[in-house]
Amino acid sequence: MRLSKVNKLKSFSFLILITIVSLKKIVAQDADSAKGIKFIREDFRTAMTQAAEKNKLVFIDAYTTWCGPCKLMDKSVFTDEKVLAFMNENFVNLKLDMERGDGQIVAQRYKVSAFPSFLFVNSEGELVHKGIGYQDADKFLGLVSIALNANQGLLAWSKKFDNGERSPDFLKNYALQLADVQDAKRTAIAKLYLKTQLDWKNNNETLDFIFKFVESPDDTFFTLLSKNKPIFERRVSREAIELKRKNLVEEQLFDKKNLPTLARADSLLALVNDDKHKLDSTQRNYRMTYYRMKGDRNAYAQAAVNYFKKYDKNAGELAETANTFLEQIDDKTFLEKALKWAKRATRLEKISYHQFLVAELYNKLKDKSAALKAANIAIELGKKAGESTDEVSAFKTRLLKE
């Protein structure tokens, strides 16, 4: 047989093999999809039409491509035999990417901000119920059962409220349900419940409820917690209370998209700093952070000068700020301040890093002789501490070559 014919036969056999492998993959994928929930993908209108025809609710898996818990739901929960059988039987199931197409419209309409979100919508487009975050199969089925119950779920509770239901138990449970899905109405309902609890200071369940709803430095619950810390310490440790208050304040202080004014920042810091000396220190220190976030280098530099006029006892703070000046500030007056702080840091903590910083600042200020002297000291300190001095030595070598 000629060699060319042999090669043709080999190529033909290889193509057949590839085709067989590809077919096996397709069959395997079909088998895998059959094991999961049958989703309509990225087509809200079709799902709503089918829901009306079948008199069913639409279940919307509101996901994003980058969401890890969303992928885990696909892999572990939506393939669970109990879950998929129940969902395929009782719902029209829709999977929507919240960042494109119909998903963007749905996200805005139903105020989806956490992923995954699970939306249960009737054929009229009303949100019947909602869940957020990863849930195992049993918990997910519990959520689904609430959505199917005409007397439960967010829509049912909302209608009861609109019809005048105001019993304490109702208000409490409604607020907690809204909190579970991060609904904006949760705080207003929680406040209504709290008004029914005249003896809340002696009721542990109500103390727990209040602590749960402390979500902002501006809300009633934050004020109650702050003014009654000894009472809440019966249920929560002092450390947990202070941590929650501090975290909520810092969320606003370091929100680059909605950076507070300095006056607002001062009032926020006053909420979590009772000691006047500490408050003054914290407010001065925050101004450095504030101007750094705004990208105003000169204002940042002046804020640092103002801070270290009174608070220059922390070697780490001094060195960190001096290093920032070294990297970002060119004004000679400010650099001389940074050199002073670096020297102060070396006196407080005699280590190679601080001394090397002195050397680099001298170099930026064009004092080569002083920079070399400081570098030699940094090398000696590094060797004494058993540290690598390669970086300082390289710096010294560059200076000697200039």
Give the pLDDT means over successive 10-residue stretches in the chain (402 positions): 42 40 37 71 94 96 96 95 95 96 95 95 95 96 94 94 97 95 95 96 96 96 96 95 97 95 97 94 96 95 97 96 96 97 97 97 96 96 95 94 86
Question: From the centroid of its chain, how far is CA 45?
Answer: 33
pLDDT at 402: 84
194/171 Cα distance (integer angstroms): 9
pLDDT at 34: 53
pLDDT at 36: 87
pLDDT at 218: 95
pLDDT at 127: 96
19/119 Cα distance (integer angstroms): 41
Taking phi over 0 as left and psi of -120 to 50 as alpha, with beta for the rest, 163 belongs to alpha
DSSP state of 76: I
Question: From the centroid of its chain, how far is CA 63?
Answer: 17
pLDDT at 396: 94
pLDDT at 3: 41
Q: Are the C-beta atoms of residues 18 and 11 closer than 8 Å to each other?
A: no
Its pTM stands at 0.77
List C-alpha distances in Å: 64 to 68, 76, 82, 96: 9, 17, 25, 8
Q: Are the C-beta atoms of residues 147 and 51 closer than 8 Å to each other?
A: no
pLDDT at 108: 95
Torsion angles phi and psi, residue 260, rounded to 5: -70, 160
Helices (H), 35-167: 44-54, 68-72, 81-90, 102-109, 137-148, 153-162
